[in-house]
Structure 1
Amino acid sequence: MNLARKETFEGRGILIYLPPSYAKGENRYPVLYVHDGGYLFEDCANWLQHLIAIGSIPEVVYVGVETDNRNEEYTPWPAKALVEGRPDFGGKSPEYIAFLADRLKPHIDSRYRTLQSPEHTGIVGASFGGLVSLHAAYLRPDVFGAVGSLSGSYWYDGYLDYMREQPQPPRVRKLFMSVGDCEGIYKDNIQKWMVPNTIKARDLLLEQGLPAQSLKFVIDAGATHDSVFFIKQLPEAIRWFF
């Protein structure tokens, strides 16, 4: 993979990787928007390039989007902090999702050779990044047709209730969800429900009519809530999406 550049868009850092063949022709490529600055692909770039070389994953344009405050931007509505003395959660993901869909995506599409339809546009993140990715599926399925929720924070206050209240599941083409079976086992707050709440979220989606062939669900044996396991799931999500 070739690092195209580190850009700034509307005051926010954007990290862009272009696939190996990008400079060699006029092909257009799917795009994957990645939360938390794109560490999910940046920290395993050599591995992804190897997987491309052996034909294990397709070539994709990756767009890493930085945030100054993930507790503000990746949460769907305000909620109290889990730890006394920490800032409360800000609940500004609708604004963040609108930024991605209505301003950043048109900018990327105007500068790079992208496939622009929802089926070729993915969004992925881990932890709160996984939560905001699913929320983007609810709010903007017209833009994001491939959604990756890696260890999504479905313990978040009221989120399962929000899902239950929806008349139908997100109208996305592909949804990838994963969780480690050891996540939350050392917690004594609501985060201890990481695994059962993720399973409940999956079951709700299927009960509401999400086609089984649109969902891939992975329980990663022995995995804790750590970036090494989030990154491990990224190629699986890419294969599923594209």
Structure 2
Amino acid sequence: MRFQIDFIGSKGMVFSKNLGRWVRFRFVAPPEYPNAERLFPVLLMNDGQDFTPMNLETTLSNAYATRGIEPFVYVGLECNEDRIHEYGTASVADFKGRGGKAKDYSKFVMEEFIPFLREEFKVSKKGEDWVYCGMSLGGLSAFDIVYNNPESFGRVGVFSGSFWWRKKAYEKKDLADRSRIILDVIKKKTYSPHLKFWFQCGTEDEFADRNNNGVIDSIDDTLDVIKELEAKGYSSPGAIKYVEIKGGKHNLPTWGLVFPEFIEWAFKKSGRS
């Protein structure tokens, strides 16, 4: 009997000493994974509980069947009710105290989870083969972890990132708006020439326009992050990819629709230089 396997998948959980809880995760690999002697690049994703609403089963199956895509494994980390505290910027919580456990979450990823994956699964030992992504606040978290640990990653993808995360409430006369925490995170860190960045926004991510410049805050914040990266030395285009979806919303269907394009950017064979 002839048959075809689209992917290999499993779910599990690991206990984190840093977070003091069990963390659930989903592992998905291409059909050749069980018999492969090679190690695979990794796509790590925050908010892994959104796997089904984002239709990632179909997206990954299609990617694994595409010859131009480098075979990779997907690992989705699920959050819990502490999401607003575990995601954020590791250096400091926001002005409302949100993200107070972001440093613990970063330590979990770097000191516990990545070593666990490298010990238990056929995943690459090379940092440049690892891609981390996330949506909204999970995107801010992924960016912060990658940017502060460049030796462990090659690329990061941020979908409608919560780059508004700030040290103090917004003031209308603050034209530079440097209270957005991620801008100083970028400024203070040493340039890492191998890093590459993907940013996606939707023109209907939101309708707020705090500085009344005719551009919604989600896009404004993302473009300011790109400007900060350019000032640090990253090229755009080149090291930086920005995708703006007309009519795109701050929701799982929008992110799921653009995810195949992100995977092509992250794992296209000719593009992994």
TM-score computed with the length of structure 2 as normaliser: 0.77
113-122 or 164-173: which moved more?
164-173
Q: Give the 3-state SS of the residue equivalent to 2:226 in structure 1.
A: helix
Q: Give the 3-state SS of the residue equivalent to 1:222 in structure 2.
A: strand
* Correspondence for 1:203: 227
- RMSD value, Cα: 2.4
Q: How does 1:1-242 map to 2 (within 5 A)?
A: 1-10=6-15, 11-37=22-48, 39-40=50-51, 43-55=55-67, 57-68=69-80, 69-76=82-89, 77-80=92-95, 88-157=97-166, 158-163=180-185, 165-166=187-188, 168-169=190-191, 172-185=194-207, 187=208, 192-212=216-236, 213-242=238-267
Q: Per-residue deviation at 1:12?
A: 1.0
Q: Per-residue deviation at 1:224?
A: 1.0
**Percent identity at matched positions?**
25
Deviations for 1:185-228, whole angstroms, at most 9, x for unmatched residues?
A: 1x4779x5111111111111112201332111111111011111
Q: Any conservation in 1 of the 2:148–2:189 contact (CA below 8 Å)?
A: no
Q: Per-residue deviation at 1:120?
A: 0.6
**C-alpha distance in 1 between matches for 2:210 and 2:48:** 28
Compared with structure 1, are the counterparts of its residues 54 and 137 closer, same or farther at alpha carbon in structure 2 (3 Å cutoff)? closer
* Correspondence for 1:84: none
**C-alpha distance in 2 between matches for 1:153 and 1:215:** 18
Q: Any conservation in 2 of the 1:5–1:15 contact (CA below 8 Å)?
A: yes
Deviations for 1:22-51, whole angstroms, at most 9, x for unmatched residues?
A: 124323210111111252477321232123
**C-alpha distance in 1 between matches for 2:161 and 2:108:** 21
**C-alpha distance in 1 between matches for 2:25 and 2:182:** 31
Which ranges in structure 1 are unaligned for 5 or more consecutive residues?
A: 82-87
Compared with structure 1, are the counterparts of its residues 22 and 3 closer, same or farther at alpha carbon in structure 2 (3 Å cutoff)? closer
Q: Give the 3-state SS of the residue equivalent to 1:131 in structure 2.
A: helix
**C-alpha distance in 2 between matches for 1:169 and 1:193:** 26
Q: Per-residue deviation at 1:78?
A: 2.4
**C-alpha distance in 2 between matches for 1:172 and 1:74:** 25
* Correspondence for 2:271: none
More helix by share: 1
**C-alpha distance in 2 between matches for 1:189 and 1:74:** 24
**C-alpha distance in 1 between matches for 2:63 and 2:9:** 19
Letter in structure 2 aligned against 1:93: A
Q: Give the 3-state SS of the residue equivalent to 1:142 in structure 2.
A: helix
